[in-house]
Structure 1
Amino acid sequence: MSVSIARVPTHSASRYLQQLAKHWSHKMEVSFSEQEATIAFPNGASLEMRADSETLDVRLAVPEDGDVARMREVVASHLDRFAFREAPLTFDWQVV
């Protein structure tokens, strides 16, 4: 697995986390609360998010044969859609 993390500055982290989780719950396995979400993608990738008052922490795990750049873009573009008032959000992706 290739694991990428990002700390996204926003005061609306909980709202965006919940919106994305609800949006993807129709197509994927999703569990979430106001502060945490886990999303399992059909391609074997997984997304974990944690919200606090100032940031949204994102952890994206992609299988070795997966397209990491594309999965990062999918996550970022969907979150930007929900954050249209402050988009684009800043994703400083780091590989761990």
Structure 2
Amino acid sequence: MSSSRAVILTHHASRYLQQLSKHWAHKFETEFTPFSSKIALPLGETRLSANDKSLTIEITALKSEDLTVLRNVVQRHIERFAFKETLEFDWQPLS
């Protein structure tokens, strides 16, 4: 397994967290509140946490070779929800 984290500065973190969680809830096992989320995707798990200044995304791929794909899928979805602002994703490995 491989893991990665990105902290994205935005005042709309809770909105994006909830949009992503609701979007995937009909297909995947999803648990969420306005401030935290856990989504079980076929390639691995995504956890999100929101506060008034940032959205933190932690992903864990079941197979190391799927980490980039999983990261890109999550990032593209968040970017679609955030079409009114430009978000910066600086993915860092988790040990």
So what's the TM-score if we normalise by structure 2?
0.94
**Could you report, residue by residue, the CA deviation over 1:47-92 in whole angstroms, capped at 9, with x for unpaired residues?**
00000000001100001254211111100000001000003x1110
Give RMSD over aligned pairs.
Answer: 1.0
Give 1:25's aligned residue: 25
Q: Distance in 1 between matches of 2:49 and 2:90?
A: 16
Equivalent positions of 1:1-96 (< 5 A) are: 1-43=1-43, 45-87=44-86, 89-96=87-94
User: How many corresponding residue pairs?
Assistant: 94
For structure 1, list consecutive stretches of 5 or more residues without a partner in the other structure. none
For structure 2, list consecutive stretches of 5 or more residues without a partner in the other structure. none
What percent identity do the matched residue pairs reach?
44
Q: Would the alpha carbon gap of residues 94 and 80 (structure 1) be closer, same or farther in structure 2, given more than 3 Å must change?
A: same
Q: Distance in 1 between matches of 2:2 and 2:78?
A: 21
Q: Distance in 2 between matches of 1:3 and 1:78?
A: 18
Q: Distance in 1 between matches of 2:3 and 2:36?
A: 18
Q: Would the alpha carbon gap of residues 39 and 20 (structure 1) be closer, same or farther in structure 2, given more than 3 Å must change?
A: same
